[in-house]
Amino acid sequence: MALRKFKPVTPGQRNKLISAFDEITCSVPEKSLLSYKKRTGGRNNTGKMTMRYIGGGHKKMYRIIDFLRNKDNMTATVKTVEYDPNRSARIALVAYEDGEKRYIIAPKDIKVGQKIVSGPGIAPEIGNCLPLSDMPLGTMIHNIELVPGQGAAMARSAGCYAQLVAKEGNHAILKLPSGETRMVLIACRATVGVVSNPDHNLESDGKAGRTRWQGRRPRNRGVVMNPVDHPMGGGEGRASGGLPRSRKGLPAKGYKTRNPKKTSKKFIIEKRKK
């Protein structure tokens, strides 16, 4: 999972730094696990733009990912490791003993031909999915459920992992990628290992065109707009715009947006690092 630098024969390649894709073993996705992904361009059903800076981009098909891992005590073999345009992590195609194929989020260092299994009471090895109650302390995990049977909700993007720190009664204490420490029900499942493609945060597009290919349009600052368009717009010359805020007037720096009455607040032991 190395990064690839380019000889700067063009301005766009001078600062370009992308994945070498050396872990990819297949370039054609499994057709039975694809579905169409409709694009809105940021418009609602009447054609009005409700989300700015969205539009264009290459066509994509959605890969149906198995976040439940509910096929218990049945061994699956890793067939391919593939690129997924819808997420930063790599995905792996696994085939179960009964012939069914599914996509999973590929853990780091998973190999083609490797056997994985899910369910209670199995060995905590890379790629295996089991309840937190069956995992030893200190295990690096990803694809963590918040509600038993709901499917993976946390630590799913490239290079992410959480650590199982302690177990207290019906809850396990996890240290999350953000630095937050929180309690999760011990019956929730997680997958052992770190998510693949850990060098994703070091990549550099090198030119604006690569961002356009991903469906993101240019984003301009509020201070360069007119007063009718943004609270920080207007003024003579290059006015700083006063206090940084969003288009709707909400403060942008240091303003806590999380609802203090949220039900899950009681499960958070230590807040995430600022």
Q: Tell me, yes or no, whether 220 lies in a domain.
A: no
- CATH number reported for the structural domain that contains residue 103 in this entry: 2.40.50.140
pLDDT at 274: 66
Residue 112 has a pLDDT of: 97
**243 in a domain, yes or no?**
no
Mean pLDDT (whole number) for 34-59: 95
161-168: average pLDDT:
96
Q: Please check whether residue 10 is in contact with residue 23, taking contact to mean a CB–CB distance below 8 angstroms.
A: no
Per the domain annotation, does 229 fall within a domain? Answer: no
Asked whether residue 231 is assigned to any structural domain, the reply reads no
How many Cα atoms sit within 13 Å of 224 on the Cβ side? 3
- The average confidence (pLDDT) of the chain is 95
Residue 244 has pLDDT above 70, yes or no: yes
The mean pLDDT of 220-247, rounded to a whole number, is: 92
CA angle (164, 166, 167) in 5-degree steps: 110
Whether residue 240 is predicted with pLDDT greater than 90 in this model: the reply is: no
Q: Is residue 271 part of a domain?
A: no
Angle at 1 between CA 33 and CA 202, to 5 degrees: 105
Domain carrying residue 180: 3-201
Provide the number of structural domains found in the chain.
1
34 part of a folded domain: yes
Q: Flag whether 99 is in a domain.
A: yes
Q: Is 131 exposed, middle or buried (0-12, 13-18, 19+ CB in 10 A)?
A: buried
- Residue 245, Cβ density class (10 Å: 0-12 exposed, 13-18 middle, ≥19 buried): middle
Indicate the SS3 state at residue 121: coil
